[in-house]
Amino acid sequence: MILIICGAPIAIWRRVRFSGAKHLKITRRMHCVVSVQFYAAFARRQKPFGTDIFSESAMTYTKINYGLDAPPICYGMFAIGFFGLIVAILSPLFVSDLLLLGVEAIACLMAAYGVGMGIYMVWSSRIGKLRTCETLMNEIGRIRPWKGDEIVLDVGCGRGLLLIGAAKRLTSGKAYGIDLWKGEDQADNSPEAPLENAKRAGVADRVEIKTGDARQIPFAPEAFDVVVSHWVIHNIEEENDRSIALQEIWRVLKPDGVLALADISFVKAYLDQIKGWNSKSISFYDGGNEAKLMGFLSGGTFRPQYLIVKK
């Protein structure tokens, strides 16, 4: 039963991933150059958040590695799950019949929870956050239509997901990314990673990277048309420091500029703070059922939500 619960999501993903190939007879030699008809057929079947999965930005999913988020926590979840699985399998050997049912029930819950949360974190890092990026870029365009000449800042850019998402919408503009490059926040996090990803995405000439702290953003006031940040500010431990980071973001944003801020915690606190700054508009997305479920399962520590603010 445990193996079925743990293996089902993987089986479903494999089915979704390869279902298109079954009907279009993709041969081994076509793996590198897939026909236009395949992309069109698959795109018509899956349109997450109103965007074709094989749009220009989504086409880079398979060749760009945006990293696993919070790898220690992800690995810890899998460890909990596999520990529960081992206990469930071996418990008849060292637990009396009177306690066996209770021990196995707890072990099964541990296995399902740990492996399930681990799979969700991998999915979120590989697929979910790419969809969120497209959503944020589209929401920015709804508030302030992209012209191509924007100056954009990605606060805590990591391996460059939002940075590259914005750069793809630029022509004469520039996208800047800052980060402290902490490996515990994202796997293989380094200044070279977003530059390599930008090169692979074909936007290296529109991207620039700096080492910088969100609490002391190394740019002049009102320097950016758009500021974006994805799952970063919550990593700042002290509430006062998070408030300072928000003030810094507001400082470097131009009047009529747009802030897109996504995070897994404290988003309502960000909302309350920004409301006191006389912004022209604020849109708050509460994350829907996904945020409610993950918030419940994580004890309130993981609830993905976002804000779109026009200064």
User: Burial, 170: exposed, middle or buried (Cβ in 10 Å; 0-12, 13-18, 19+)?
Assistant: buried
Question: SS3 sequence, 224-292?
Answer: EEEEEEECCHHHCCCHHHHHHHHHHHHHHEEEEEEEEEEECCCHHHHHHHHHCCCCCEEEEECCHHHHH
Write out residues in the chain with pLDDT < 50, as ranges. 1-62
pLDDT at 8: 41
pLDDT at 238: 96
Q: Which residues contact 119 (CB under 8 A, 6 or more apart)?
A: 6, 9, 10
Q: What's the CA gap between 248 and 13, in Å, rounded?
A: 41
Give me the residue label for tokens 């994580």.
298
Q: What's the CA gap between 246 and 311, in Å, rounded?
A: 13
Q: What are phi and psi of 2, to 5 degrees?
A: -65, -45
H or E segment to which residue 275 belongs? helix 267-275
Q: Which residues pair with 259 in a beta bridge?
A: 227, 309
Q: What's the CA gap between 276 and 38, in Å, rounded?
A: 50
pLDDT at 65: 92
**130 residue type, one letter:** L
pTM of the model: 0.77
CB 261 within 8 Å of CB 270:
yes
pLDDT at 266: 97
Q: What's the CA gap between 161 and 184, in Å, rounded?
A: 17
pLDDT at 91: 86
Q: Which CATH number fits domain 135-310: 3.40.640.10, 3.30.70.100, 3.30.1360.120, 3.40.50.150?
A: 3.40.50.150
pLDDT at 101: 84
SS3 category, 98: helix
pLDDT at 92: 86
Domain ranges for the chain, please list them.
Answer: 2-55, 135-310
Tokens standing for 250?
Answer: 């507001």
Q: Which residues contact 87 (CB under 8 A, 6 or more apart)?
A: 103, 107, 110
SS3 category, 147: coil
- Residue-wise pLDDT tens digits, 270-310: 999 999 998 999 999 999 999 999 999 999 999 999 999 99
Q: What's the CA gap between 114 and 182, in Å, rounded?
A: 24
Q: What's the CA gap between 241 and 36, in Å, rounded?
A: 49
pLDDT at 286: 95
Q: Which residues contact 300 (CB under 8 A, 6 or more apart)?
A: 265
Give me the residue label for tokens 């290296």.
204
Give which of 262, 250, 264 is closest to 133, Cα–Cα: 262
pLDDT at 97: 78
What does the radius of gyration of the chain's CA atoms come to, in whole angstroms? 22
pLDDT at 93: 85
